[in-house]
Amino acid sequence: MEFTAQAIAEILNGKIEGNPEVKVSTVAKIEEGTPGALSFLSNPKYTKYIYSTQSSVVLINSNFVLEHPIDTTLIRVADAYESFAKLLGIVAAAQKPKAEIHSQAVVEKSSSLGKQVYVGAFSYIGQNSTIGNNVQIYPQVYIGDNVKIGDNTILYAGVKIYNSCAIGNNCIIHSGAVIGSDGFGFAPQSDGSYQKIPQIGNVVVEDNVEIGANTTIDRATMGSTVIRKGVKLDNLIQVAHNAEIGENTVIAAQVGIAGSTKIGKNCMFGGQVGVSGHIFIADGVKLSAQTGVPNSLKEPNETYIGSPSMPSRKFSRSFVVFKQLPDMKRDLDRIKQLIDKGQVTLK
């Protein structure tokens, strides 16, 4: 699709500096811009590229101050990153989705499909499942019995949704994700073996959730594992049975959340965070990458670092001491040697 700078500015309620008739037909990172491309500048680390980019149009924040003249057409907006995302969303929405049931797909007769549904080759939809309107089911997707999928949801190739799980409206689930696999529940026996505990619950994913590639969300032992509306999960995340993730929480790759843990809304977890089971994390909590959380975090909107986790302010003070430990150890060894030689006497 092709847009003029003027059309983009009208969509984003932006202010043009430069040629309003210049056209763009693709997008590019500002440091890799080419003629006909649209880029944006949000992170100050990339400021230098505004003076050398070949992109035809660049979105910038309204308060950005140019230090040198440039030839590129600029569009000033309140938030360049947010505006760029909005524009990409408009372009994606304009692309007409597929609407067909492939001849090599299997849909059990007891299941119902809404309007304008696409089901790709080698996909399977089990018995008594309900698929909403405008759902896109790509090839090799497995949908078990008694599954409910809301309108406008996209299941990319290879997604697996086990029986009795529920997926909301406007969700995106990426390739290889598994929703509703058994929770890790085993009862130790007197002979040292383990008896599997049947996992008879399900997974409930509410509206506007995105789940990354190869992420797994285990079904509840009883009841539901719940992913609240607006949650964004990165690739390679493990969510264990009976966990609950509050609305609009975002979680980066390789995070592990143990069973029955309740996470509040608007939290942010960095990569490789580990969260123990049966604990509570308050609303708005931020966990730095590789933070380990063994106990409940009850203070809302606090930032934690380290393993075991501690408030970021305390961690920063402690880190000053951590860095001095080798020197402190050397000084202690020197004092010990002096004491052993009788050159220093402790009183």
User: Residues with Cβ < 8 Å from 193, sequence gap 6 or more?
Assistant: none
Q: Are 225 and 205 in contact (CB under 8 A)?
A: no
Burial bucket for residue 33 (CB in 10 Å: 0-12, 13-18, 19+): buried
Residue that has been written with the tokens 């649209």 in this structure: 38
Which of 68, 102, 241, 278 is labelled catalytic?
Answer: 241
C-alpha 29/C-alpha 71 separation (Å) is 17
Q: Are 81 and 60 in contact (CB under 8 A)?
A: no
Residue 321 has phi, psi (to 5 degrees) of -70, -40
Q: Are 150 and 134 in contact (CB under 8 A)?
A: no
Residue that has been written with the tokens 């080698």 in this structure: 122
C-alpha 145/C-alpha 6 separation (Å) is 50
Q: Are 188 and 194 in contact (CB under 8 A)?
A: yes
DSSP lists the bridge partners of residue 155 as 137, 173
> How would you classify residue 272: left for phi > 0, otherwise alpha for psi between -120 and 50, otherwise beta?
left
Residue that has been written with the tokens 């670092």 in this structure: 305
Q: Clarify whether 241 is annotated catalytic.
A: yes
Catalytic residue numbers, as ranges: 241
